[in-house]
Structure 1
């Protein structure tokens, strides 16, 4: 597979994985309450402190996380291709993958813009990590653990 075709598949798969799979962090703010934050390997999304349901995003951490996801997906696809398992995609499958990536990305952008979301260049507060785990988009395991900690 050519590098151009490899990149054509890497971008939508990166978007899909980036939205669907991440790490949750239950953290204690220094001189503040506990929160659930998200991002792998760095925290790039946290609840906004000024209002409920809103979120805050940290741009530097977000880009580092996205680049790491992109490089992992590219490396995996490259190794699969080099090991002799030729990746062949027909146009319909590629369109389906791009459609899924676009829908997931659109949902994330919509959720990030509907509420009073704030954007910071970098996280500017200290935290103490209490517990971590991995999250699939549709699960709320971290919320259950968070609620158990506060009962």
Structure 2
């Protein structure tokens, strides 16, 4: 099987994870611009983990794309797997921050936090899928 065909499913899963991350970032950052939630407990702290989680997803995506484009260096695989692991660690803290935010949010904003949590679930699911695919092809 050509290298591009082997890595395409990984790239697809990482893209989905990154898309979910974009939604988590967008919705949670929007809360800083709403008077009732601008100082929402947990949001700023959650972002201290969300930003590096995003970076690690972007880097993992770039690494998988490089494999799909034909590169083969082992250090790319180390970068890819290391970034997935680091994103998973950051995700745990993002999830903790979201729980704090949900508890602290005014009632009318709790559904927004639930929506962010659903996007976080999506993000983590696709990162896990990518990790499993990588394990099956390496």
State the TM-score, normalizing by the size of structure 2.
0.36
Who wins on radius of gyration, i.e. which is larger? 1
Q: Which has the higher helix share?
A: 2
TM-score by length of 1: 0.33
